[in-house]
């Protein structure tokens, strides 16, 4: 009798033990499946995020933009002396271009903090640019934000050949990255061989072939270092006078421009340059009635003959070559009507309302506006400003 009771208890214990093990295995299996499912979902989300194309990021950004925000994106503004943050928010500016007054008497930490404040107060990340061709045109060097100073292309080439050019671009990339600058507004693609000419010191000082190589090498290295590249000043200054101080007329035949001055721009485009800056010179062979910056034939040539699909921007709108020709309000609108995507300006507070009014009147189409905004946002995605 006792044996029978013991045996029964042993059997019952074994049954309970087996049931418990089964439940435990089931729970372990369910937990494992749940973990795998969670990990799989996480990986899917990460994969989707990682494979979002540049176009999708741009479309996503544009969908959230008002008309006013889109127009603001077209302006690379000179940093105002007052209301820097308020103007970013009120005019939705696409970028700030730093000048001497934004660095004078400041240290690197102060400039870096100011740039960070601009970005923190902008709904859409801003381009931050500074003219850093080297030599006579370097805001950072002139104001001792960088030391030693960035040297001119000609001096770099004399010392270390083409390697010297590349090494200086690499150094600029480090400084820009530290400060928060994306656009160095170079290289200069003008073919100038006359040491007495206005633009000569800013160029490589070589013929069309040498200048083309300089531009190609610079653009490729800037792309590698993720610096936004801008070749300038289309259709090419040559040995002409200075449009900063006067209206300049270029009388050279179009064939001469094609065989000489266009070549470095074509080399830059083939190398994948991000943007082309257009001068304020009146080039009679293309458009005898208007400065290049507000000339549709000049911009049609860039798009249709040179097959450039990136950003086209004006030179500084305050330069006498344009400012003495037309009012700032009209110039801003005509620059966009001509085909520019971005305007370099300090008169944005009057130009933007003028452009918004022109859109309402049908003088500048929302379709053209959207094309320009798309190009600019695409550039911001490629530079890592829009994630």
Q: How confident is the model at residue 369 (pLDDT cuts 50, 70, 90)?
A: very high
**Average pLDDT in the 55-62 region?**
94
Residues 6+ apart with CB under 8 A from 180: 112, 115, 116, 119, 128
> Minimum mean pLDDT among 3-12, 109-118, 339-348, 350-359: which range?
3-12
User: Is 91 a residue whose pLDDT tops 50?
Assistant: yes
pLDDT score at 31: 40
pLDDT score at 51: 72
CA distance 203 to 187: 8
CA distance 374 to 311: 10
**Average pLDDT in the 302-316 region?**
98
User: Is 251 a residue whose pLDDT tops 80?
Assistant: yes
pLDDT digits 0-9 by tens, 99-125: 999 999 999 999 999 999 999 999 999
Task: State in Å, rounded, how far the first CA of the chain is from the last one.
Answer: 80
> Minimum mean pLDDT among 44-48, 176-180, 188-192, 369-373: which range?
44-48
**Average pLDDT in the 266-294 region?**
97
User: Is 68 a residue whose pLDDT tops 80?
Assistant: yes
**Average pLDDT in the 128-139 region?**
96
pLDDT score at 213: 98
Q: Which of 197, 214, 224, 195 is nearest to 265 (CA)?
A: 214
SS3 296: helix
User: Is 23 a residue whose pLDDT tops 90?
Assistant: no
Of 124 and 22, more confident: 124
Consecutive H or E run containing 318:
none
User: Is 380 a residue whose pLDDT tops 80?
Assistant: yes
pLDDT score at 329: 95
User: Is 37 a residue whose pLDDT tops 80?
Assistant: no
pLDDT score at 238: 83
| Strand 75-78 relative to strand 95-98, pairing | parallel
CA distance 154 to 135: 9
**Average pLDDT in the 157-166 region?**
98
User: Is 5 a residue whose pLDDT tops 90?
Assistant: no
Question: Do the Cβ atoms of 131 and 386 come closer than 8 Å?
Answer: no
**Average pLDDT in the 183-195 region?**
96
User: Is 50 a residue whose pLDDT tops 70?
Assistant: no
Q: How confident is the model at residue 321 (pLDDT cuts 50, 70, 90)?
A: confident
CA distance 49 to 280: 43
Q: Which two tokens stand for residue 59?
A: 């479309």
User: Is 4 a residue whose pLDDT tops 60?
Assistant: no
pLDDT score at 153: 98
Tell me what percent of the residues of the chain surpass a pLDDT of 90: 81
pLDDT, the chain, mean:
89
Tell me what percent of the residues of the chain surpass a pLDDT of 70: 87
């Amino acid at each position: 009798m006792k044996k029978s009771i013991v045996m029964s208890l042993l059997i019952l214990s074994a049954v309970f033990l087996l049931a418990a093990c089964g439940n435990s295995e089931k729970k372990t299996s369910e937990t494992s499946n749940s973990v795998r499912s969670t990990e799989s979902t996480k990986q899917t989300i990460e994969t989707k995020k990682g494979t979002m194309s540049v176009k999708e990021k741009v479309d996503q950004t544009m969908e959230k933009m008002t008309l006013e925000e889109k127009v603001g994106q077209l302006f690379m503004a000179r940093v105002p002396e007052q209301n820097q943050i308020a103007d970013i928010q009120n005019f939705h500016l696409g970028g700030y271009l730093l000048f001497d007054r934004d660095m004078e008497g400041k240290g690197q930490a102060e400039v870096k903090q100011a740039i960070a404040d601009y970005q923190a107060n902008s709904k859409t990340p801003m381009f931050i640019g500074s003219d850093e061709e080297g030599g006579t045109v370097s805001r950072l060097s002139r104001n001792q934000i960088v030391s030693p100073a960035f040297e001119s292309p000609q001096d770099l080439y004399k010392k270390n050949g083409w390697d010297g050019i590349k090494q200086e671009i690499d150094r600029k990339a480090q400084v820009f990255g530290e400060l928060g600058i994306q656009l160095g507004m170079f290289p200069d693609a003008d073919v100038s061989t006359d040491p007495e000419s206005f633009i000569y010191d800013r160029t490589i000082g070589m013929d069309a072939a040498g200048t083309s190589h300089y531009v190609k090498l610079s653009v490729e290295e800037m792309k590698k270092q993720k610096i936004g590249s801008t070749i300038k000043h289309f259709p090419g200054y040559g040995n002409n006078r200075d449009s900063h101080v006067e209206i300049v007329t270029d009388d050279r035949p179009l064939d001469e421009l094609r065989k000489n001055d266009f070549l470095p721009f074509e080399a830059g485009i083939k190398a994948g340059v991000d943007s082309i800056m257009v001068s304020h010179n009146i080039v009679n062979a293309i458009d005898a009635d208007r400065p290049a910056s507000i000339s549709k034939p000049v911009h049609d040539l860039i798009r249709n003959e040179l097959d450039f699909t990136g950003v086209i921007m004006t030179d500084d709108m305050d330069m006498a070559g344009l400012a003495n020709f037309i009012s700032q309000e009209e110039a801003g609108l005509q620059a966009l009507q001509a085909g520019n995507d971005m305007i370099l300006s300090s008169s944005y507070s009057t130009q933007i309302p003028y452009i918004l009014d022109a859109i309402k009147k049908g003088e500048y189409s929302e379709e053209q506006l959207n094309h320009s905004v798309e190009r600019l946002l695409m550039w911001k995605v490629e530079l890592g400003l829009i994630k």
